[in-house]
Structure 1
Amino acid sequence: MTRFTRAELEAARDRLVPDVVADGLHVLFCGINPGLMTAATGHHFARPGNRFWPVLHRSGFTPRLLQPSEQGELLSYGLGITNVVARASARADELTTEEYREGGRSLTRRVTRLRPRWLAVVGVTAYRVAFDDRHAKIGPQNRTIGGTRVWVLPNPSGLNAHWTAETMAEEYARLRAAAEATS
C-alpha cells in the first residue's frame, strides 16, 4: 500500500472518485462518500482499517480477497460501487444534511439509469438522511427504486465498532443470498 503524507491526503479533499458500475448489476454497493485515502488512490474503500473488502470476501460475494486496486474485477461478479455523496472528505461528519439529500436524489437517478437488482447502502445513518427515512434499520427496506430493491448494510469503516467483521459478513451474506434468489 502506498504511503501518503498528510499534505498529499489533504490535497485529495473534495476530489471525485469514479464509480465502478455497469448496467444491470446484481448488487450496487453504495458508500457514504470517498475518504481521503480513497480519493488519493482512486480506489474505493482504500483506507487500511476499512473492512469492506474482507467482509465482501467472507460473505461469499467474491471468491478471494480483493485489494482496493482490483476494484474493477467486481464487475465480473455483477457487483459495483458508488457513493451517496461524491466529494471526498476526511470524515463523514463533514458532510451537510443537504449534501446527503442531494446525494440521495442523485443516487436515485443513477440507480434508475443502471437498473441494478439491489442497491446496498453501507451505512444506516447515511441512508436515513439521504432518503429521509428516520426509522430505517439494517436489512432489506420497503423502498424500491424502479425495479431495484434496497438493502441497508452496516458501515465497514473501522470506526464502526458495533459490528465485528464476522457479524458484518453475516449481514452481507444475507444480502448475497437474497441477490442470488432474485437472479
Structure 2
Amino acid sequence: MAAVPPVCDFGWKGIDAILPGVDGNEHQLSEHVGPGGLVVAFICNHCPYVKAVIDRIVRDARDLSAHGIGFVAINSNDADAYPEDSFENMKAFSRQHGMTFPYLHDEDQSIARAYGAACTPDFFGFNADMRLQYRGRLDASRREQGPADLRRDLYEAMVKIAQTGEGPREQVASVGCSIKWKDGGDWA
C-alpha cells in the first residue's frame, strides 16, 4: 500500500546527523549543504517507486549541484526484514545507478524518525540555512517511470529555493512505499 507524507512544514530546521556512507566514509548532513541548499532524500533499494525514478534522482542531483545545491540519500529501512536494503546491497545499488552523491545508512532509524520520513522516496528540500522549503515529489512518476517530458517538481522547487531562499507554496506530496520500521509500526 502506498504511503503519502504530510505537507511541507515551512521553516522547520533540519536535523543534523553523522551517518555511514556506501563510500566507506562518515557523512555529516550539514557538511553537504551548498550555498543553494540541500536535498535529503529517503530512498531504498527494493521499492518499486524508487526503482522507477532512481535514474531521474541521479540526474536531478547532478543538475542541482550546478545551482550550489547539495544532495544526500538515506536508507532507513529494516534490512533484517528486507535484506535487499542491506548496507552491502546499498553499495551495489549505488554503483549500478551511478550515484555521485552520498548514499547513507540510518540503521537505527533515528534520522527517519526525527525527520518524520513516511515513504520511499520522500524528499526534503532545505535552503542554505537548513530550513525546510520543499516536501514534495520528484515528478509525477509513480510505480512506473513517467514520460521523459514530465515537469521536474523537485528540481524546479530547489532552483527557486537556491535563488530566493523560499520554496513554492503549492507542492504535490511524494508517494511511495512506507518506511519499513524495525518495530513493524508507524514512527509516530
Q: Return the structure number with greater strand share.
A: 2
Tell me: higher relative CO, structure 1 or 2? Use CA pairs within 8 A at least 6 residues apart: 2
Give yes or no for TM over 0.5. Answer: no
